[in-house]
Structure 1
Amino acid sequence: MVSLLDDDGAISESFENCLKHIFAKYCIPESMSPFSGELPLNAYLDSAGLDSWASDTNGEPFSEDTKEEILQFMDVTDEGNLTFKGFLQVYQLQTENDEEETWRDLSKHGYDRSLMFIGKD
């Protein structure tokens, strides 16, 4: 199994690449090639994108309280939309606190424990 965090406790490069792919599925502007590793300039998740990501990951959208908390404490645009930096912050905190939950999230998005994309069930 590969490590999600590097020796300094930051998100590993391979984990970040997975998160770019996941973020690209929900971001505005829409990514033309989510597997490229490149995100559209100034990409963000709006409320609908957050709901879609949460539903695909957890089976239901976030509660309003959870959304407010994410948007209050993570990096957001001036309009209050979650940036990729904020998305990384969400996963940094989650992985530090419950790495297994992060592995479950990755699995829901088609990644195995070597961070290879194997597709969704």
Structure 2
Amino acid sequence: MSASGSASSSRTASPVRAAPREARPPPPVDTTRLLDDSFGLSEPFCQVLSQVFHKYASMTSLPPAPLTEGVSLPDPEEPEQETLKGQPTLGRAQLNAFAKDTNGQVMDDETYKEIAEFLTCTTGVDGAPALTFKGFVQLYQLQTENDINETWNDLTQWGYDRNLQLVGNNAPASATSTETPAATNGTTPTLGEEA
């Protein structure tokens, strides 16, 4: 996952990436597209993101992550916060597991603060910000628009080939899910599209 700076600016380097991976060549023309004609995330890519997100959201027995000072908490008065309650999220411990599996190191505090400030989060069970599926899609929308090769690197790290099919024994626990989130068509999904 690659992005740096604020979510409102162009992202060129990964906030979660601690050490650069070897760059892979761009995908051949006959691969599954990650972006649709409107530059939204394609439906097959959204399905992969749903599987990956739910794999990490289901990791509820992880030891708690240390608290991050100075992190912005979601405003409980925002109408969207009420609809986000009870939905699967990635708290700091799950985000650390995701970052380690994807990039080789846990997430740094600055990246976590950026996620809490710029992407759709809710208050997690520990009282700290937790990334929603909508926020996860926002993250990959930004990354894919700015560095599609980095997104392909992440997909490869998760065990997906250039046709967005799992290869070998890499199937996440939720890969058998029948959920099908809608493609974003240039926008982030609404909560009803989350899964």
Query: TM-score range, shorter-chain basis?
Result: 0.7 to 0.9
Q: Does 1:101 align with 2:101?
A: no
Identify the structure with the greater helix proportion: 1
| Alpha-carbon contact 1:29-1:43 (below 8 Å) kept | no
8 Å contact 2:59–2:94 — kept in the other structure? no
- Normalised TM-score (structure 2): 0.54
Could you list the per-position Cα deviations for residues 61-114 of structure 1 after superposition, in whole angstroms to 9, with x for gaps in the alignment?
Answer: 111001100111000014421000000001000000100000000011110001
Q: What TM-score results when the alignment is normalised by the length of structure 1?
A: 0.85
2:134 to 39, 64, 85: 85
Q: Is the 8 A contact 2:99 2:105 kept in 1?
A: yes
Q: Which ranges in structure 1 are unaligned for 5 or more consecutive residues?
A: 31-40
Matched, 1:47 2:108: no
Equivalent residues in 2 for 1:8-87 (5 A)?
8-28=38-58, 42-79=87-124, 80-87=129-136
SS of 2:122 mapped into structure 1:
coil
Counterpart of 1:4 in structure 2 is 34
Cα deviation, residue 29, structure 1: 7.4
Count matched residues: 110
Residues 9/71 of structure 1: CA separation in 2 closer, same or farther (3 Å cut): same
- Alignment of 1:117 onto 2:166: yes
Query: In 2, distance between residues paired with 1:105 and 1:81?
Result: 21
Cα distance in 2, alignment partners of residues 18 and 29 from structure 1: 18
Q: Which has the higher contact order (CA 8 A, sep 6+)?
A: 2
User: Following TM superposition, where does structure 1 have runs of at least 4 consecutive aligned residues deviating by more than 2 angstroms?
Assistant: none
**Partners of 1:67 and 1:5 in 2: how far apart?**
26
Aligned partners of 1:81 and 1:28: how far apart in 2? 13
Structure 2 unaligned spans of 5+: 1-30, 61-85, 171-195
> Which range is displaced more, 111-120 or 88-97?
111-120
- Percent identity, aligned pairs only, is 45
CA RMSD in angstroms, aligned pairs only: 1.5
SS at match of 1:5: coil
